[in-house]
């Protein structure tokens, strides 16, 4: 099921945002800010870009996705549910005792999860291995890895970047959810990262580098198309996003990095999303 119309993808992203808030509200814990900021990216990946089939979740020829910023698991679970891997109603057990929907994704518990993540900085290294395997075994699948901009402060990310460039992994596409905020504040104030610096750094490491509006469905689709066309080097998409996107009182507010909504906030947020 591939959705090609921008308006339909926008509607799907809005529904995914509602599912994210529902999961976190019932859990009374979670990471809404960074989950909402990457909803448009995941929507395009799972409903337009990737070669996947929820009825054959272990198909060896499927494209792979790694949520390196694993704390945004609510966004991945909501996307997988909307894509048909499991029921949307199951999300109300998010972060509950004995629920498979843990705070960080576990590939042994959830259909459609390609890597267990949570420790920041490791996702791109595993993505390299998957992309190499695809080439060595002539499988032809592509690998997508979503990182947070604060996560780029981990040194292993840059070791992985060197490796991806060295082996010319043109079937690898990294995406940076560049919302300029992390747990304790603005990324620029903590370790001097901004979207322009990130693009130049990746370019110096040999990547094809694209900078886009991470909430423009059209620009996201265009960037993935350019990534597929690029040969001989990996691609990174610097997606400029807004933390808490879609809910006005959460947008650009670092306090929503890792807290749940109360009854009044949840009602207000859903009303705002429903109005769109």
pLDDT at 64: 98
pLDDT at 193: 74
Q: Are 245 and 177 in contact (CB under 8 A)?
A: no
Count other Cβ atoms within 10 Å, centred on residue 128: 24
Beta bridge partners of 208: 235
For residue 262, give every residue at least 6 positions away whose Cβ sits within 8 Å of its Cβ, in sequence order, or none: none
Question: How far is the C-alpha of 35 from the C-alpha of 116, rounded, in Å?
Answer: 17
Q: Which residues of the chain have pLDDT under 50?
A: none
Classified by CATH at the fold level, domain 6-274 comes out as Rossmann fold (3.40.50)
- The domain locations on the chain are 6-274
pLDDT at 13: 98
pTM: 0.96
C-alpha distances in angstroms, 78 versus 20, 63, 248, 262?
6, 19, 20, 20
């Amino acid at each position: 099921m591939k959705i090609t119309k921008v308006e339909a993808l926008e509607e799907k992203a809005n529904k995914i945002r509602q599912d994210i808030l529902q999961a976190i509200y019932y859990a009374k814990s979670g990471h809404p800010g960074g989950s909402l900021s990457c909803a448009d990216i995941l929507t395009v990946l799972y409903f337009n870009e990737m070669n996947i089939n929820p009825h054959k979740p272990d198909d060896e020829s499927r494209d792979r996705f790694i949520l390196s910023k694993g704390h945004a698991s609510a966004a991945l679970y909501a996307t997988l549910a909307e894509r048909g891997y499991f029921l949307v109603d199951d999300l109300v057990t998010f972060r509950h005792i004995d629920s498979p929907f843990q705070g960080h994704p576990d590939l042994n518990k959830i259909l459609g999860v390609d890597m267990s993540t949570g420790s920041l900085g490791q996702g791109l290294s595993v993505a390299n291995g998957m992309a190499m395997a695809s080439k060595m075994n002539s499988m032809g699948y592509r690998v997508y890895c979503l990182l947070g901009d604060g996560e780029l402060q981990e040194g292993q990310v840059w070791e992985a970047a060197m490796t991806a460039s060295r082996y010319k992994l043109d079937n690898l596409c990294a995406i940076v959810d560049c919302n300029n905020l992390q747990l304790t504040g603005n990324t620029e104030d903590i370790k001097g990262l901004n979207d322009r610096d990130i693009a130049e750094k990746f370019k110096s490491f040999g990547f094809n580098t694209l900078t886009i509006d991470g909430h423009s469905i059209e620009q996201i689709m265009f960037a993935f198309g350019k990534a597929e066309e690029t040969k001989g080097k990996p691609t990174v998409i610097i997606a400029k996003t807004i933390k808490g996107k879609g809910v006005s009182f959460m947008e650009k507010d670092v306090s929503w990095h890792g807290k749940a909504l109360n009854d009044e906030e949840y009602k207000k947020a859903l009303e705002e999303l429903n109005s769109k």
